[in-house]
Amino acid sequence: MTKLSVNVNKVATLRNSRGGNLPNVLKVAMDCEAFGADGITVHPRPDERHIRYADVYEIRPMIKTEFNIEGYPSERFMDLVLKVRPEQVTLVPDSPDALTSSEGWNTKEHFDFLSKTIDTLKNAGIRTSIFVDPVLEFIESAARTGTDRIELYTGPYAAGYAENPEVAAAPFISAAALAHKLGLGINAGHDLSLTNLKYFHEQVPYISEVSIGHSLISDALYLGLQETIRQYKECLKNT
- Which of 33, 50, 66, 70 is catalytic? The answer is 70
User: Bridge partners of 39?
Assistant: 5
Q: Return d(Cα 140, Cα 143) in angstroms, integer.
A: 5
The yes-or-no answer on residue 50 being catalytic is no
Any residues with CB less than 8 A from the CB of 175 and at least 6 apart, and which?
134, 135, 136, 139, 152
* Active-site residue (options: 43, 50, 66, 151): 43
Question: Quick check: 67 and 29 in contact, CB under 8 A?
Answer: no
33 counts as catalytic: no
C-alpha span between 225 and 230 (Å, rounded): 9
Catalytic residue of the set 33, 151, 190, 209: 190
Q: Which residues of 38-54 are buried (b: 16+ CB within 10 A; e: fewer)?
A: bbbbbbbbbeeebbbbe
Alpha helices, DSSP H, located in 89-129: 111-123
Among all residues, which ones are annotated catalytic?
43, 70, 190
